[in-house]
Amino acid sequence: MQTADVVILGGGIVGSSIAYHLTAAGCRNVVVLERESAQGKGSTGKSMGGVRAQFSTPVIIQMSLYAIPFYASFEERLGYPCDYRPQGYLFCATNDRHMAYLRANYEKQVAMGLKNVRLVEGDEIRAMFPLLRGDDIVGGSFCSTDGFVDPTSAMNGFIAWARDHGATVRKSVTVTGLGRDAQGISTVETSAGSISTRKAVNCAGAWARSVAAMAGVDLPVEPLRRMLVPSEPFDQFPHTAPMIVDMSNGFHFRPESRGFLLAWNDPEETLGFKTDFDPAFVEKILTRAADRVPCFADLPVNPKRAWAGLYEMTPDHHPILGEAPEVPGFFLANGFSGHGVMHAPATGKILSDLILTGKTDLIDATLLDLARFAEGRLIHETAVL
């Protein structure tokens, strides 16, 4: 039987970052299991790649404060690119309630050490982007070190570094069960045989609930479809633009390749493993796009290039990190609720710390543990895009 110090269940960006951080910390016998024939076929390959520190809860801001410099120095550290583009995130408020929310967040972010965030007046936004319809914009917030990465490149970089330093990746291998004895996790059962280990990490993304159930753990992670629409080449709006977020309805967009990538979270979407793209979404999103950016009325879109993927939602929109309360050796890195790419670096560090030393300095890990749901310690984050 194969043995491993740590087995990682799922080879998306989160599993890959944990493999990297474990290996970088000196753990040599790390095995990553991925049921697909290639990594990135889960949510990672469907992501918009946005990275930001403009959040409202301190624990998430802390995770971003680790992530952004990490992505900025990714190539230097790992020797592989992640295509970090610090073009910023610009939140545009159209009412005083949203502006007050941005101001309160700004104060928290600055207090926690975020340097490049600032509040902006409506007039400044209108001057920065005269092509936005700005008549109802009362102000906003902008952080120049927020931006985008290429999620697949980042995932590939993490895993390549980990492999270069001793980790093993086994593709087309499905986790089918988790063995337990009196000490906790004892084996990982797979479609290709058993692996003896005392430590297994659930990195199964939107499928994490079923993997947790294999260890007898009830994990409140639910799949929720999200759709993205890329445009064809379009040069009537600047390609240096940040991610621009219309807070009146949640529509947001960023430059991508020679065009733009459009996103909007349909409030009518329901939970479930739906990964088909709904063609009716194109008109819904283009209506919102043209409303905020009048020249987007001419934006060329080929619906065949649009796609759908899954967010992994938790009841409080915060990830679930750390060892499962009743199963020693079973670790969770799940439920990123739409932010798993930007929070993969911190998650890798936190999980590596918890697995190897039982503690971490990066955050107060009890805030994100699974027990918070049973104990009524949920966190509320409303800045979910």
Ligand X SMILES: Cc1cc2nc3c(=O)[nH]c(=O)nc-3n(C[C@H](O)[C@H](O)[C@H](O)COP(=O)(O)OP(=O)(O)OC[C@H]3O[C@@H](n4cnc5c(N)ncnc54)[C@H](O)[C@@H]3O)c2cc1C
Binding positions for ligand X, rule: CB under 6 A = 9-15, 33-36, 41-44, 46-50, 174-175, 203-207, 211, 226, 228, 309-312, 336, 338-342
* CB-nearer residue toward ligand X: 204 or 320: 204
- Nearer of residues 138 and 362 to ligand X, judged by Cβ: 362
CB of 285 to ligand X, least distance (A): 12
**Residues whose CB is less than 8 angstroms from the CB of residue 380 and which lie 6 or more positions away in sequence, other chains included:** 57, 316, 317
Q: How far is the CB of 176 from ligand X (least distance, A)?
A: 7
* C-beta of residue 246 within 8 angstroms of C-beta of residue 92: yes
Q: Which is nearer to ligand X, 99 or 385 (CB)?
A: 385
Between 41 and 126, name the residue whose CB sits nearer to ligand X. 41
Q: Which is nearer to ligand X, 341 or 363 (CB)?
A: 341
- Residue among 226 and 349 whose Cβ is closer to ligand X: 226
**Nearest-approach distance from CB 333 to ligand X, in angstroms:** 7
Rounded distance, CA 103 to CA 126, Å? 19
Q: How far apart are CA 337 and CA 312, in angstroms?
A: 5
Closest approach of ligand X to the CB of residue 313, in Å: 10
Residues, the chain: 385
178 and 33 Cβ atoms separated by less than 8 Å: no
Work out how close the CB of 152 gets to ligand X at its nearest, in angstroms, rounded to a whole number.
10
Whether residue 154 contacts residue 125, with contact meaning beta carbons closer than 8 Å, is answered with: no
How far is the C-alpha of 105 from the C-alpha of 73, rounded, in Å? Answer: 26
Minimum distance from residue 100 beta carbon to ligand X (Å): 25
Q: In the bound complex, what is the minimum distance in angstroms from residue 111's beta carbon to ligand X? A: 23
Tokens representing residue 229 in the block: 């629409």
Residue with Cβ nearer ligand X (31 or 48): 48
Residue 13 phi, psi (nearest 5):
-65, -30
CB-based burial, 301-323: b 16+ in 10 Å, e otherwise: beeeebebbbbbbbebbbbbbbb
Nearer to ligand X, 102 or 313 (CB): 313
First to last CA, the chain: 44
Cβ atoms within 10 A of the Cβ of 237, count?
A: 20
Place of tokens 């009743």: 326
Q: How far is the CB of 279 from ligand X (least distance, A)?
A: 16
List beta partners, residue 246: 92
Report the C-alpha gap between 9 and 20 in whole angstroms.
14
